[in-house]
Structure 1
Amino acid sequence: MNGAQRRFLPSIASLRALEALDRLGSATAAAEELNQTQSAVSRQLQALEAQLGTSLIIRERKTMRLTPAAKEYAATIRGALQTIAQASLKVQVNPRGGSLNLAILPTFGMRWLVPRLPDFAARHPEITINMATRLKPFDFAFEPFDAAIHFGNAEWPGTSHLKLRPENMLPVCAPQVLNNVTVAHPRDLLDLPLLHIETRPTAWSQWFDSYGVSPGTVSGTIFDQFSTILQAAIHGLGVALMPDYLVQQDLKNGNLVVAYGGATRPLGAYYLVWPTERSEDRSLKIFRTWLATQAEDEDPLPR
């Protein structure tokens, strides 16, 4: 890097101050997040302006806000700061090889991915997989992940994807829920309490539609994770629409029964998604190549 290039490479501290001010909207909040005083943040921003030779901050009384050009600059450097943070984490946790920071859906990750990971670890001991749960899509620019396990469709902006498996849904409940009840047609389930999963808000409507039933608004209790809705179904709170791979053991031991029919056509699928710009990352390429060997639509899942 020559001298001219170094001139346009400000300190990390000043760039973090600018990014935090843009994202949080106030110097007070930026200082709190950075664990600094407001005066320290102000000095860093002044030094950045001096180095770049341009005004970045509009100062009005006791408030500071970014100029339009500074906001565009902050949006650009945000991704660079995230890349630096990820690279630093990787070299810290696995100095001898690569690592992959992966966001997973809690139930699918634990039931489908984790049982398969020993095979990956045996084949690629040089790569460390770090995992954290996320229930909903997020912006890779703001989260420290290289890839994510995602349910739905492949429409995640700025990403590429690998389909892992479809999700077939099955209406299940505790045996006592059907006592003195005749379910001869899908519409009969509308007379029973229906349990909903927050991440699949239209699942019941789609299920009824697949049988030609137009139920209108489908009300019921909402749960945020499959682990909790499964326990609610087992304890007789109502009928839950569950992925078939999650309920096979409880159907086998009699904790649950099928309320009607069989597994429906897929209402969605699970994907591995990653930022397209990171497609050539070595650890990510190795992981997704291996994962493609596990992505079989009809593959029976480990119990």
Structure 2
Amino acid sequence: MRWPDLPPLNTLLPFEATVRHASMTRAAQELHVTHGAVSRQIQNLEKALGTPLFERGTRVLHPTPQAHRLAAAVRDALDRLDTAAREVSRRERGGPLALSCEPTLLMRWLIPRLPDLAARVPGLTVHLSAGGGPVSFDGDTVDVALRRDDFPVPGQVSRTPLFLERIGPVCSPELAERITGARGFAGVTILHAATRPGAWDDWQRLTRRRVEGAAQQTFEHFYLALQAAVAGVGVAIGPYALVHDDLVNGQLVAPFGLMADGTGYHLLSPRPPEQDDRVALLLGWLRDQAGEL
């Protein structure tokens, strides 16, 4: 054996958990074993090392300084093993990359650009799904997620910024002439989306403009409100990424311009993108596309 002084490896997980919790009971709960199993492994470790690792009181368990030192080394080794295992398993498995994207961004920005992705990164296959808000990477159902940062992101999740959110009223060119005149929004239908009900309030707060005396219509999804704006039904708040193509081709105009609202879109992944070649390739392409915005 190359490491003759190593203690029994099966004792180290219960030991580290016991030090971290200062409790064998909580360590047993975390590891889904009995209190007795944890106690036996701690005793085996102390026997192998020839030194006590805990000061045992009536109801309190105090790790010794030596225990804290050993637990820190075990934790560092486990972190390294976890990182290496994830990296190896991802690189060797390869295959399609499962990308979750907010529905309206998926429909109006990402899907129209997929032919460019196929042409420029031919070795990458992406499986798309629509989803919003917090994402769980447990179970490998989702590899990466494209999200607006309007919710807390866990510290262990890698977050790579792509572009800032910019918003403003958008409408057909014909309606634009009406709302920039003396009557403003009077008599014009204001379009809302149930999935982002505060969009107009955000714009009014940023610009200190008031939108009053207009009819209101609410759609179930943001992309329906934007499609209604294209059709001339009324005026919607248009995030730039979601209306970029319509602004370029003249189907929509932004008569008051667009301004940053303090949020942005990020690529979320369970570990840094450089640890998975597929994610690194996707990120490079997304950054190129985001450069248009």
Pairing partner for 2:283 from 291, 299, 302: 291
Shift of 1:271: 0.7
CA distance in 2, matches of 1:203, 1:188: 19
Q: In the alignment, does 2:151 pair up with 1:151? A: no
Residue type of the partner of 1:243?
A: P
Change (3 A) 1:204 1:247: same
Shift of 1:194: 1.3
Q: Give the aligned partner of residue 164 of structure 2.
A: 166
The percentage of counterpart residues that share the same residue type is 29
Residue type of the partner of 1:117?
A: L
Shift of 1:149: 0.5
Contact 1:164–1:270, Cα closer than 8 Å, also in 2: yes
Shift of 1:135: 3.0
Q: In the alignment, does 2:188 pair up with 1:192? A: yes
CA distance in 1, matches of 2:171, 2:133: 26
TM-score normalised per structure 1: 0.53
Change (3 A) 1:249 1:282: closer
Q: Secondary structure at the match of 1:228?
A: helix
TM-score normalised per structure 2: 0.54
Q: In the alignment, does 2:234 pair up with 1:238? A: yes
Contact 2:168–2:239, Cα closer than 8 Å, also in 1: yes
CA distance in 2, matches of 1:102, 1:248: 22
Count of matched residue pairs: 211
Change (3 A) 1:248 1:297: closer
Shift of 1:116: 4.6
Unmatched tracts of structure 1, length 5 or more = 6-50, 55-86
Contact 1:205–1:215, Cα closer than 8 Å, also in 2: no
Q: How does 1:251-270 map to 2 (within 5 A)?
A: 251=247, 254-258=250-254, 260-270=255-265
Post-superposition CA distance 1:135-155 (Å, at most 9, x none): 333333478212211013473
Shift of 1:163: 0.6
Unmatched tracts of structure 2, length 5 or more = 1-8, 11-31, 36-85
Post-superposition CA distance 1:11-43 (Å, at most 9, x none): xxxxxxxxxxxxxxxxxxxxxxxxxxxxxxxxx
Q: Give the aligned partner of residue 118 of structure 2.
A: 118
Q: In the alignment, does 2:267 pair up with 1:272? A: yes
Shift of 1:182: 5.1
Contact 1:172–1:257, Cα closer than 8 Å, also in 2: yes
CA distance in 2, matches of 1:250, 1:197: 18
**Greater radius of gyration (CA):** 2
Q: How does 1:1-303 map to 2 (within 5 A)?
A: 97-110=94-107, 111-112=109-110, 114-118=114-118, 121-122=121-122, 125=123, 128-141=125-138, 144-153=141-150, 155-158=152-155, 159-177=157-175, 181=178, 183-184=180-181, 188-189=184-185, 192-213=188-209, 220-251=216-247, 254-258=250-254, 260-275=255-270, 278-279=271-272, 282-283=275-276, 286-288=278-280, 291-292=283-284, 294-295=286-287, 299-300=291-292
Post-superposition CA distance 1:153-187 (Å, at most 9, x none): 473124220011112223122345467x45358x9
Change (3 A) 1:157 1:222: farther
